[in-house]
Chains A and B, each alone.
Chain A
């Protein structure tokens, strides 16, 4: 298996598998977050479950972190290898004649998503780890104990305009990344057949609707609570 991962195609398949996992993760993340728009109580309940369930915390979360790190590290490794395979560039190269901007610039859309993720981790994940595992408060309750803290924390985060703007830009880059990445992942694992055309449309819908949904959530809380 290690030999397989050293081969160009093995790495390509590994990239695709981590992409499938991350795309599934984004879908469930969205499903939970959209609850904050329609039903804050349900959002609190699900957030508390996800934040305290040992299976989620100690099995799925480490797999997710591995998946994220693997996808980024392998993405950069392959990009450097690919760039090194043509040391003299063309004087004129008409890339737009044969491929989409998204497909040629995955490293840039991915790079911006990485910046966004670092800020996202500083915003949500690190404070969450601090409260639960360093302060030792796993109750998930507000300081006055009246209710769960998750919904209120979410609202609070989406008050500053700079953060809402950054999140929206982050999701636009996610959409650009997915517009190529969704179908590219299927092609990489050998899935090119009579269903490919339909799958392309599903991929486009996923790539646009999920990031758009996240943007709607951010804007909803921004306009609802601070203005």
Chain B
């Protein structure tokens, strides 16, 4: 395949970036998108140029490291996949592909296509956990009766890999799908009840502090989420916050 890549290049956080055009040839339709970028980088390195910086780790679609806004969509045109699982067969020979970093003020660009998503970590630290005494007398989780429905819904929420596609896609740069999933995975389980009030209040407060925008229910996040996290989780977070505020 012969392609024209238009890639966002930015030396560092302070530098002003721009789109740079790279023609590339000899791309196999069976390559993953990141393998295609590897080919480009190898060429750039050989030519003595600075390779394109992009995030990646597991390349199995489960770590949440890879990102990229490809032709106007987070993780590209395919559904329910991360960029590492997107294959070049989704594009046509001769295509022009725009590759940009996830954009939000809360996700500042570090270099080229790499953005700082530590805002998500800080939201998690604010309440995305349960406190368990692990002194040796810990109760076996399987001993606590949980309905199949609740367990399934909690598991669905917990599949969020925190990649930030929801923020990148949202026209408001809202993080509510991520926070909704993290609140939900505990709100649905008995283990999450003890800290439920503080959790939702603290996580929402941290989310606001990080400067994410406000959800207007466009539903774009749900469509672009590589894990198919549902808008139900945002509704549940809203209910949890109402409940928490009524409790005081």
Which A residues are closer than 8 A to B by beta carbons?
1, 4, 7-13, 78, 81-82, 84-95, 97-100, 103-104, 106, 180, 183-184, 187-193
Does B112 have its Cβ within 8 Å of any Cβ on chain A?
Answer: no
Total number of A-B contacts with CB less than 8 angstroms? 130
Number of B interface residues, CB 8 Å? Answer: 47
A192/B231 contact (C-beta < 8 A), A91-B98, A95-B220 known: yes
Q: A207 vs B176: C-alpha distance in the bound complex, in angstroms?
A: 26
Does B92 have its Cβ within 8 Å of any Cβ on chain A?
Answer: no
Q: How would residues 222 to 248 of chain B score, 1 for a CB under 8 Å from any chain A CB and 0 otherwise?
A: 011000000110111111011001000
Q: Kindly name the residue among A4, A85, A104 whose own CB sees the greatest number of chain B CB atoms within 10 A.
A: A85
Nearest chain-B residue to A86 (Cβ)? Answer: B173
Q: A82 vs B215: C-alpha distance in the bound complex, in angstroms?
A: 9
Does B38 have its Cβ within 8 Å of any Cβ on chain A?
Answer: no
Check B103–A90 contact: CB distance below 8 A: yes
Does B106 have its Cβ within 8 Å of any Cβ on chain A?
Answer: yes
B residues 149-205 with Cβ under 8 Å of A?
A: 169, 171-174, 176, 204-205
A188/B171 contact (C-beta < 8 A), A98-B73, A98-B220 known: no
Name the B residues within 8 Å of A183 (CB-CB). Answer: 217
Check B171–A91 contact: CB distance below 8 A: no
Q: How far is the CB of A188 from chain B (nearest CB, A)?
A: 6
Does B51 have its Cβ within 8 Å of any Cβ on chain A?
Answer: no
B residues 121-160 with Cβ under 8 Å of A?
A: none
Task: List the one stretch of B22-30, B81-89, B206-214 in contact with chain A.
Answer: B206-214
Q: A11 vs B207: C-alpha distance in the bound complex, in angstroms?
A: 14
